[in-house]
Amino acid sequence: MPDASPEDATASVLVEVLDGVATITLNRPDALNAMDEDLTARLMAALERVRDDEAIRCAVITGAGRAFCAGADLRRRAANQSEGRGPTPFPVTPPPLYHSSDAQKPMIAAVNGHCLGAGLELALTCDFRLASTLATFGMPEITLGFFPGGGAPLRLPRAIPLGAAMEILLTGDRIDAQTAREYGLVNRVLQPEELLPEAQRIATRIASHAPLAVRGLREVVMQGLEMPLPQALRWGGAMRWAIGQTEDAKEGPRAFAEKRPPEFTGR
């Protein structure tokens, strides 16, 4: 059964776990799920839980209401300034939630609506993205006198063609879901009512696989992208050998031969 309880329903981040899949919902719909200090802290705690809880094998991140996440809460920032408290300082380095490899488990962004600024940076940390037909994407920071600090200038050009990334970053303009699909920013575009069920279906499929093999595969892909190809191939071969020594690597072929579903234990 899902582990979210009724008293949690008003929290700015909700977490439900079912069949090895954590569904993380950003839950400030009246503010378009903009990131204030509370939401950011709760989101980071949720991602740490995904990382540390062995019962969780995959995660889906989505938003409540009309937005996935509209970015940083600029109204809260402006209010802090008007009250003499000063703006929340920009970090010199992106906070941990922007390092997807730290999660150590696959994450899927189910982008249900507006996905802007820090919201798009969050989506870019995920392994891949699905979008609703209502989704929009953009990096408006340049129109406000600064530029993105959560990794978008580096991740977006790695996710889509350079020219498309530069247009999004330099103009601050939004693109719709179909354009995002054409750029390769999202894997597919779905009707709103189909989005979360499809993301959860895929996540459940991933969660059914041997967790050490999934983790090893992600490490090979993510770290291999930063290596020269010969070094990456050696790294991948070493990881493949190590995973081949696990109990799950023996269970898979055995279950296939016995014509039954495998029972992977993460060992």
DSSP state of 72: B
Taking the CB of residue 61, how many other CB atoms lie within 10 A of it? Answer: 27
Kindly report the backbone phi and psi dihedral angles of residue 24, in degrees, each rounded to the nearest multiple of 5, phi listed first.
-105, 120
- pLDDT at residue 89 above 60? no
Global confidence as pTM: 0.89
Q: Per the residue annotation, which of 37, 121, 194, 219 is the catalytic one?
A: 121
Which pLDDT belongs to residue 104? 82
Residue 246 to residue 27: CA distance in whole angstroms: 39
Instruction: Write out the DSSP string of 123-157.
Output: HHHSSEEEEETT-EEE-GGGGGTS---SSHHHHHH
**Confidence grade of residue 151 (pLDDT, cut at 50, 70, 90):** confident
Closest CA to 200 of 66, 115, 107, 132: 107
Q: Does domain 211-257 have CATH number 1.10.12.10?
A: yes
**β-bridge pairing 114-116 and 174-176:** unpaired
The predicted-structure confidence for 231-242, as pLDDT tens digits, reads as follows 999 999 999 999
Kindly report the backbone phi and psi dihedral angles of residue 34, in degrees, each rounded to the nearest multiple of 5, phi listed first.
-60, 145
- Hey, where are the domains in the chain? 6-207, 211-257
Residues in the chain: 267
Burial class (CB in 10 A: 0-12, 13-18, 19+), 114: buried
**Confidence grade of residue 68 (pLDDT, cut at 50, 70, 90):** very high
Q: Per the residue annotation, which of 48, 83, 141, 258 is the catalytic one?
A: 141
Amino acid, single-letter form, for residue 9: A
Cβ neighbours of residue 173 closer than 8 Å, sequence gap 6 or more = 138, 167
Q: Does domain 6-207 have CATH number 1.10.1740.10?
A: no
Which pLDDT belongs to residue 82? 53
Which pLDDT belongs to residue 85? 58
Instruction: Write out the DSSP string of 184-224.
Output: TSSSEEE-HHHHHHHHHHHHHHHHTS-HHHHHHHHHHHHHH
The predicted-structure confidence for 8-54, as pLDDT tens digits, reads as follows 778 999 999 999 999 999 999 999 999 999 999 999 999 999 999 99
Is 83 a residue of the active site? no
Is 141 a residue of the active site? yes
